[in-house]
């Protein structure tokens, strides 16, 4: 594995590269040690060449968006992190084609400005199009599955794939990409025409609800746990008396028990310790297994 060779080739392709880049600056949790080599990919048309560089050197690879659902190890990430920051999008009638690095907020605003409805639920979710498809992001009764028509991805070997929505295997916080390891390049969304003011009002309503109920004033990775069947994770945690419980700098939010927040310079180990305690307590009290929605990366 030759990091310097990958860096040289990536820079020749026009990409910005940084060695030992602190990942806490690239996750909403504000936690994480250094990435051995961090590459900003702002042109997905060249990603096949970039992947070949990494593949030729047999180097571990991690794909990053806005890091809104990640908990990165204090030791950081070995190998190469490719940060997808190509944020292009195109409106075509009632369809929007967006690159994987496009922020959900930008996509939602573009839809509103084009008088297109269907993305209101995503307004305020701090992620990218790629991450939203990967996780089938959803809120307030809406989810990506309802509006996506197709998705383009690339395998680690450089083969381009185009899938219809039915082939994406979208379910509760999952997609085919969790299993096949492909890198999402872009997605096409089918929306419906509506009055701009009506779309804006729904966006404002959902954003207001988020601000009222979620601890947006602290770094976090959003909802820490998936919703267990027949229950709500936050309610089980609150009923277990864990609101405000902390391990090191990590705390169960007093505003919403479903969120573990970085209250005071928390480490990854603080968060993992708190998650383990929450899972153990809820299991003891309710015999319910809480599965994390947050993805741990090392």
- Could you say which architecture CATH assigns to the domain 3-84? 2-Layer Sandwich (3.30)
pLDDT band (50, 70, 90) for residue 190 = very high
Closest CA to 80 of 132, 119, 39: 39
Whether residue 203 has pLDDT greater than 80 = yes
Boundaries of every domain in the chain: 3-84, 89-213, 233-297
Indicate the pTM of the whole model: 0.93
Q: Does the fold of domain 233-297 match that of domain 89-213?
A: no
User: What pLDDT is attached to residue 39?
Assistant: 98
User: What pLDDT is attached to residue 289?
Assistant: 98
Active-site annotation holds for 293: yes
Mean pLDDT, range 270-288, rounded to an integer: 98
Name the active-site residue from 21, 36, 40, 293.
293
Q: What's the CATH code, domain 89-213?
A: 3.30.465.10
Name the active-site residue from 68, 173, 220, 253.
173
| Whole-number Å distance between alpha carbons of 242 and 254 | 9
Active-site annotation holds for 173: yes
pLDDT for 84-137, tens place per residue? Answer: 999 999 999 999 999 999 999 999 999 999 999 999 999 999 999 999 999 999
Whether residue 75 has pLDDT greater than 80 = yes
Name the active-site residue from 68, 150, 175, 223.
223
Q: What's the CATH code, domain 233-297?
A: 3.90.78.10
Mean pLDDT, range 250-256, rounded to an integer: 98
| Whole-number Å distance between alpha carbons of 77 and 32 | 9
Q: Is residue 210 within 8 Å of 255, Cβ to Cβ?
A: no
């Amino acid at each position: 594995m030759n990091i310097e060779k990958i860096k040289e080739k990536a820079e020749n392709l026009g990409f910005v590269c940084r060695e030992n880049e602190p990942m806490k600056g690239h996750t909403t949790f504000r936690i994480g040690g250094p990435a051995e080599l961090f590459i900003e990919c702002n042109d997905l048309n060249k990603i096949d060449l970039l992947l070949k560089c990494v593949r030729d050197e047999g180097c571990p690879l991690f794909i990053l968006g806005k890091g809104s659902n990640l908990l990165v190890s204090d030791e950081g990430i070995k190998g190469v992190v490719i940060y997808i920051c190509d944020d292009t999008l195109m409106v075509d009638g009632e369809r929007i084609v967006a690159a994987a690095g496009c922020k959900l907020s930008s996509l939602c605003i573009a839809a509103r400005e084009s008088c297109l409805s269907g993305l209101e639920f995503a307004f305020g979710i701090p992620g990218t199009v790629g991450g939203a498809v990967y996780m089938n992001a959803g809120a307030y009764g809406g989810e990506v599955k309802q509006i996506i028509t197709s998705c383009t991805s690339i395998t680690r070997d450089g083969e381009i794939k185009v899938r219809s929505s039915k082939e994406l295997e979208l379910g509760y916080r999952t997609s085919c990409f969790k299993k096949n390891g492909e890198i999402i390049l872009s997605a096409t969304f089918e929306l419906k025409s509506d009055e701009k003011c009506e779309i804006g009002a729904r966006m404002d309503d959902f954003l207001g609800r988020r601000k009222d109920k979620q601890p947006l004033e602290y770094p976090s990775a959003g909802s820490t746990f998936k919703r267990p069947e027949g229950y709500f994770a936050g309610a089980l945690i609150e009923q277990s008396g864990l609101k405000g419980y902390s391990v090191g700098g990590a705390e169960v939010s007093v505003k919403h028990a479903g969120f573990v927040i970085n209250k005071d310079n928390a480490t990854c180990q603080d968060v993992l310790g708190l998650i383990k305690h929450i899972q153990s307590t809820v299991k003891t009290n309710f015999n319910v297994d809480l599965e994390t929605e947050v993805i741990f990366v090392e």
